Amino acid sequence: MDNEYLFKYAEKKANTFNLYCLLIIAVLGLVAEILNEVGLFTLDKTVMRLTMIQLAIYASIPALIFFIHDKLLKKDESVLVKPFFRWVIVIVSFISVMGLCISFSFHGTLLLAIPPLIAAQYKNNKVLTIFSFIGSLFMVDIAIFGSLLLGQYDANLLKPLTEAEASVLENRVNLLTAKRITEIVFHYVVPNMLALAAIDFIGLSIIKRTTEMIDVQIDLSNKVNAEIVAKTHMQNGVIEHLADIIESRDLETGEHIKRTKMYVSILVNRMKDMDKYKDYLTPKMCEYIINAAPLHDIGKIAVSDLILCKPGKLTDEEFEKMKIHTVKGGEIINNILNELGDKEFLEIAYQVAVSHHEKWNGKGYPYGIKEEEIPLPGRIMAVADVFDALVAKRVYKEPMPIDKAINIIIEDSGTHFDPSIVEVFQEVLEDFKSAATQEL
């Protein structure tokens, strides 16, 4: 996974989590309003209703933006990965929590810890986190003095006013003398700021520690991936060099390797979308089979030049010696490539090399296995291998017309070849014809 993908994945997860947080806050506010209406709480109903309305509106804004952008407009890239969306969520959380703080008197100021904790979900965004932390402390003043002017009655904050006197806004405004403001700052604002700062510090420290642990895991994962990529490059380099060795001994075999890889790619890319094969032919498995195709004749390194380059039909004895290239190919893959690549790829390469001359009816070689006993990569390779052998020029024969070669493949369905793969072959004939006439 590249860094951009990881960033977008983390951004999407953080925004999704915070969306749920805001919706939960809105739901809890609705529950509190219902409980207040039925008399379990004794808060002023008018103030409570106004507070819950604003809370529901503001907390729903991000969800509404997500619904319009992703569901109605169906944009290609989700709004959850857009950088601006985090600011929307944090600002909305500030406004929503501020309304609660003002309405529920100064006791609610600790709710201002929520926005910084929401901001801290966004990985490596110090500006947003610092803004939220400082903003939450600054808003303690607004919350407490806003509560004094507009919030629920609190005997300590509004002394010496009675509840009836506090219902008149002018009486509340008259409390704001220099002396009273100083008392409020030192008795309410500063202690709540310190408490809020402590909560934010602990919460942010925990999140920072978790983030650092995740960073370590990502770093280790990147190192492992880098090692895998390095091994894969080395493995592919060895494959190319082995293919070059074969080509240096027999030019026709070298061209055959390149063409059969194209044929295998055509078949695999069609089969991967079919219900019968989609569970097995994952993107990684398709890559393995296509990259293993050039190794199907690697065992010919062990075959004498007198046989490999003979300008004529092989004798029975020579053909028996030629047949060992399948087993030898498996041995070479196990012995030479074993330390270079992952085991799954080597298993596929081994299957391709050893089983591509097996036949559906069990009359192939080297082991005479039949039908689905033959590994799928070997059955795919068989069609590609024979088709190219028919249409390509060899030292002992001229190329066969493509249409005639196609008919032979179709006629041998159920005897030489897997009938299902032959059906796929018939669906991609035009691609095969194009590849067969392509200059290498």
Answer for the pair 162, 117: CB distance below 8 angstroms, yes or no. no
Q: How far apart are the first and last CA of the chain?
A: 33
The CA-CA-CA angle for residues 355, 358, 361, to 5°, reads 145
pLDDT tens-digit series, residues 210-269: 667 767 777 777 787 777 777 777 666 666 666 666 656 655 556 788 889 999 999 999
326: its two tokens: 């399948």
Q: Helix, strand, coil shares of the chain as percentages rounded to 5?
A: 75, 0, 25
Cα 428 from chain centroid?
Answer: 31
Neighbours of 236 (CB within 10 A): 14
pLDDT tens-digit series, residues 368-409: 999 999 999 999 999 999 999 899 877 667 889 999 999 999
**E strand or H helix at 267:** helix 251-271
Longest CA–CA span in the chain (Å) reads 117
> In the prediction, which pLDDT does 124 show?
61
> In the prediction, which pLDDT does 102 show?
75
Q: pLDDT confidence of 107, banded at 50, 70, 90?
A: low
In the predicted model, what is the mean pLDDT of the chain? 84
pLDDT tens-digit series, residues 299-314: 888 888 788 777 778 8
- Does residue 368 come out as left (phi exceeding 0), alpha (psi in the -120 to 50 range) or beta? left
Q: pLDDT confidence of 76, banded at 50, 70, 90?
A: confident
- Domain ranges, ordered by start, for the chain: 3-222, 250-436
pLDDT tens-digit series, residues 324-361: 999 999 998 888 766 665 778 889 999 999 999 999 99
Torsion of CA 146, 106, 93, 40, to 10 degrees: -110
CATH 1.10.3210.10 fits 250-436, yes or no: yes
Catalytic residue among 300, 321, 328, 397: 300
Q: Which residue has the higher pLDDT, 409 or 295?
A: 409
284 is catalytic: no
Structure-token match 């010496």, residue found: 160
> In the prediction, which pLDDT does 200 show?
78
Answer for the pair 129, 170: CB distance below 8 angstroms, yes or no. no
Structure-token match 């010919």, residue found: 300
> In the prediction, which pLDDT does 427 show?
95
27-36, 107-116, 418-427 — which one is most confidently predicted on average?
418-427
> In the prediction, which pLDDT does 210 show?
65
Percent of the chain surpassing pLDDT 70: 88
Residue 184 reports pLDDT greater than 80: yes
> In the prediction, which pLDDT does 247 show?
57
> In the prediction, which pLDDT does 401 show?
92
Least confident of 106-120, 129-143, 364-378, 388-402: 106-120
The CA-CA-CA angle for residues 57, 62, 65, to 5°, reads 105
